[in-house]
Amino acid sequence: MQTNYQTSKRRLSWTFLMLLLFSVMRVQAQEQITGHVKDSRGLPLPDVSIVQDGEGIGTKTDESGKFLLKLPKLGVKLIFRSIGYKNYELVVTNSNNLEVVMEDDIAGLDEVMVTAYGTSKKSSFTGSATVIDAKQLENVNTSNVAQGLQGLSAGVQVTNTSGRPGANPTINIRGIGSLTAEMAPLYVVDGVPSDVNLNAYSPSDIESITVMKDAAATSLYGSRAANGVIMITTKRGASGKARVNARAAWTTSDFAVKFPERVSPAKQWELAWEGLYNDARDFDGKSDEEAREYASNRVPSVFWNTTPLYDANGNLIRNYRSGWNMDYPVGLDGKIKPEVQRLWDFDLFDEAFNYRLKQDYGVDFSGAMGENNTYYASFSYLNDKGVHISDGFKRYTGRVALNSKINDWFSMSNSIMFMNSADVNGGFDARVFRVMPTEYSAYLWDYETNSYAISPYTGRPQLDEGVGNGRAWWPRWSAYGALTEAKNSQTDNLQTVSALTFRLLDGLSLKTTYSFQLIDNFYSMWKSPERENQLLPSEGYVQRDNYRSYSHTVNNVLTYDKTFNNLHHINVLAGQEIYSYTTSGSGVTRSGLALPYFKEISLASNDPTAWSTFGRYGLASFFGKAEYDFDNRFYISSSIRTDGSSRFHPDHRWGQFYSLGASWRISEESFMENTQDWLQNLKLKASYGEVGNDRVGNYYAYQALYGPTSYVGTVGVRLNQLENENIKWETNIQTNIGLEFSVFNKLSGGVEYFTRKSQDLLLNRPLAPSLGMDAILTNIGDVQNKGWEVDLNYSAARTKDFDWNVSLNATSYKNIITSLPSKEEQYSQGVAIFKWKEGGSRYDIYAPSFAGVNPDNGHNQWWKYEFDGNGNIIGQEKTENYNEVNVNEQRINQGSVLPDVFGAFTNNFRYKSLDLSFMLYYSFGGKLYDYNYSESNVLRENFAAYDNLDRRWQKPGDVTDIAKIYTYRTFDAFANARYSDQYIFTNNFVRLKNVMLGYNLPQSLVSKWGLSALRIYFRGDNLLTFGSAKGRGTDPENYGNGLVGVVDASSGVPALRSYSLGLNVSF
More confident residue, 532 or 796: 796
Inform me whether the pLDDT recorded for 535 exceeds 50. Answer: no
Instruction: Identify the residue with better confidence: 160 or 990.
Output: 990
Residue 528 pLDDT: 67
The whole-number pLDDT of residue 102 equals: 86
Question: What single-letter amino acid sits at 309?
Answer: L
Distances (CA, A) of 230 to 174, 212, 221: 13, 6, 11
Please give the DSSP secondary-structure letter assigned to residue 679: E
Q: Which of 921, 932, 943 is nearest to 1039 (CA)?
A: 932
Please, are residues 415 and 192 in contact by the beta-carbon 8 Å criterion?
A: no
pLDDT given for residue 371 in this prediction: 76
pLDDT grade for 335, boundaries at 50, 70 and 90 = very high
How does residue 857 score in pLDDT terms, banded at 50, 70 and 90?
Answer: very high
- Is residue 467 very low, low, confident or very high in pLDDT (cuts 50, 70, 90)? very low
Task: Report the pLDDT value the prediction gives residue 275, as an integer from 0 to 100.
Answer: 92
Please answer whether residues 665 and 682 qualify as being in contact, where contact means their C-beta atoms are separated by less than 8 angstroms. Answer: yes
* Model pLDDT, residue 383: 94
Length of the chain equals: 1067
Residue 274 CA: distances (Å) to CA of 304, 940, 971: 17, 12, 16
Question: What residues does 367 pair with on adjacent strands?
Answer: 375
Model confidence at 597, pLDDT cuts 50, 70, 90, reads: low
Contact 126, 662 (CB under 8 A): yes
Nearest of 864, 814, 879 to residue 841 by alpha carbon: 814
**Bridge partners of 582?**
550, 616
**Lowest-confidence range among 59-73, 96-110, 117-131, 795-809?**
96-110
Output the pLDDT for position 20.
45
Looking at residue 495, its pLDDT comes to 93
Digit-coded pLDDT (tens) for 40-79: 878 888 888 888 876 656 788 887 888 888 777 788 888 8
When comparing pLDDT for 810 and 116, which is higher?
Answer: 810
**Mean local confidence (pLDDT), 477-496:** 76
pLDDT at 536: 42
Cβ(932)–Cβ(1050) under 8 Å?
A: no
Residue of 801, 194, 707, 276 lying closest to 494 (CA atoms) = 194
Q: What b/e readout covers 477-490, taking b as 16+ CB neighbours within 10 angstroms? A: bbbbbbbbbbbebe
What are the residue boundaries of the structural domains of the chain, listed by start? 31-104
What share of the chain has pLDDT > 70, as a percent?
Answer: 86
In the predicted model, what is the mean pLDDT of residues 818-837?
Answer: 75
- Give the whole-angstrom CA distance, residue 225 versus residue 175: 13
Query: CA–CA separation, 805 vs 794, rounded Å?
Result: 6
Helix pair 288-303, 265-282: axis angle to 10 deg: 130
Q: Which residue has the higher pLDDT, 491 or 477?
A: 491
Average pLDDT over residues 818-834: 73
3 state SS for 7-76:
HHHHHHHHHHHHHHHHHCCCCCCCEEEEEEEEECCCCECCCCEEEECCCCCEEECCCCCEEEEEECCCCC
The predicted-structure confidence for 931-955, as pLDDT tens digits, reads as follows 888 888 888 777 788 888 999 999 9
- Inter-CA distances, 798 with 39, 42, 909, 911, 1026, Å: 11, 12, 10, 10, 32
CA angle centred on 244, ends 242 and 245, rounded to 5°: 145
Question: With the CA atoms of 663, 668, 669 and 674 taken in that order, what torsion angle do they form, in degrees rounded to the nearest 10?
Answer: 140
How many angstroms separate the CA atoms of 102 and 80, rounded? 8
In angstroms, the CA 987 to CA 994 distance is 21
Contacts of 883 (CB under 8 A, 6+ apart): none
pLDDT of amino acid 110? 66
Give tens-digit pLDDT for 140-195: 767 788 888 888 999 898 887 677 787 778 888 998 877 776 778 889 998 888 88
| pLDDT of amino acid 715 | 80
Sequence-ordered list of residues with C-beta below 8 angstroms from that of 429, at least 6 positions apart, any chain: 1049, 1050, 1051, 1052, 1053
Find out whether 373 and 390 touch, Cβ atoms under 8 Å: no
Q: Rounded mean pLDDT of the chain?
A: 84
More confident call, 450 vs 280:
280
pLDDT band at 740 (very low <50, low <70, confident <90, very high): very high
Distance set, CA 890 to CA 283, 850, 955 (Å) = 28, 11, 30
The DSSP code for 304 is B
35-46 residue pLDDT tens: 889 888 788 888
Nearest one of 449, 591, 573 to 525, comparing CA atoms: 591
Position 21 pLDDT exceeds 50:
no
Give the residue with greater pLDDT, 4 vs 926: 926
Range scoring the smallest mean pLDDT among 40-54, 443-457, 640-654, 1033-1047: 1033-1047
Q: Is the pLDDT of residue 688 over 80?
A: yes
Given a cut of 60, whether residue 14 has pLDDT beyond it is no
CA dihedral 521→527→528→531, nearest 10 degrees, is 150
Per-residue confidence band for 734, with pLDDT thresholds at 50, 70 and 90: very high
At 151, which amino acid appears? Answer: G
Predicted pLDDT at 266: 93
Predicted pLDDT of residue 287: 96
State the pLDDT confidence band at 28, using cuts at 50, 70 and 90.
Answer: very low
Q: Rounded CA gap, 747 and 908, in Å?
A: 15
Phi, psi (degrees; rounded to nearest 5) at 127: -95, -165
Predicted confidence at residue 727, as pLDDT, reads 83
User: What is the C-alpha to C-alpha distance for residues 50 and 301, in angstroms, rounded to an integer?
Assistant: 77
Query: SS3 for 848-904, per residue?
Result: CEEEEECCCCCCEEEEEEEECCCCCEEEEEEECCHHHCCCHHHCEEEEECCCCEEEE
Q: Is 516 helix (H, G, I), strand (E, B) or coil?
A: strand
Check: CB of residue 766 under 8 Å from CB of residue 821: yes
Please give the biggest Cα pair distance in the chain. 106
In tens, the pLDDT along 356-404 reads 889 999 999 998 887 788 999 999 999 998 888 778 899 999 999 999 9
Let me know how many helices (H) and strands (E) the chain has, helices first. Answer: 12, 54
pLDDT value at 791 more than 90 = yes
Distance CA 336, CA 266 (A): 6
pLDDT tier, 737 (very low <50, low <70, confident <90, very high otherwise): very high
Measured CA to CA, the distance from residue 508 to residue 560 in angstroms comes to 4
| Per-residue pLDDT, 289 | 95
Mean pLDDT calculated for residue range 956-968:
89
pLDDT for res 908: 94
Res 18 pLDDT > 50: no
Instruction: Please give the average per-residue pLDDT across 799-806, as a whole number.
Output: 92
784-797 as b/e: b if 16+ CB within 10 A? bbbbebbbbbbbee
**According to the model, what pLDDT value does residue 618 have?**
92
Q: In what order do the strands lie in the sheet with 229-234?
A: 129-133, 206-212, 229-234, 186-189, 192-193
Q: Summarize the confidence of residues 120-129 as an average pLDDT.
A: 86
Reply yes or no on whether the pLDDT at 830 is more than 90. no
3-class DSSP state of 159: strand
Q: How many CB atoms lie within 10 A of CB 421?
A: 20
CB–CB of 726/649 below 8 Å? Answer: yes
For residue 136, is pLDDT > 80? Answer: yes
Reported confidence tier of residue 25, pLDDT bands at 50, 70, 90: very low
pLDDT at 392: 87
What is the reported pLDDT for 695?
A: 76
> pLDDT value at position 530?
56
More confident residue, 756 or 726: 756
Contacts of 148 (CB under 8 A, 6+ apart): 137, 140, 142, 203
For residue 511, what are the contacts with CB-CB under 8 A and spacing of at least 6?
499, 500, 501, 502, 556, 557, 559
- Residue-wise DSSP of 345-385: ---HHHHHB---EEEEEEEEEEEESSSSEEEEEEEEEEEE-
In 727-885, DSSP assigns E strands to 730-743, 747-766, 775-798, 802-819, 824-829, 832-837, 844-847, 849-853, 860-867, 873-879
Q: How far apart are CA 998 and CA 908, in angstroms?
A: 11
Q: Could you say which DSSP state residue 797 is in?
A: E
What is the rounded average pLDDT of the residues 689-713? 78
Contacts of 754 (CB under 8 A, 6+ apart): 128, 155, 174, 213, 214, 734, 735, 736, 737, 785, 786, 787, 788, 789, 813
Q: Give the whole-angstrom CA distance, residue 614 versus residue 48.
A: 48
What is the amino acid identity at position 909?
F
Contact 934, 977 (CB under 8 A): yes
CATH 3.40.50.300 fits 31-104, yes or no: no
- Separation CA 586–CA 545 (nearest Å): 6
DSSP 654: E
Q: How far apart are CA 107 and CA 909, in angstroms?
A: 19
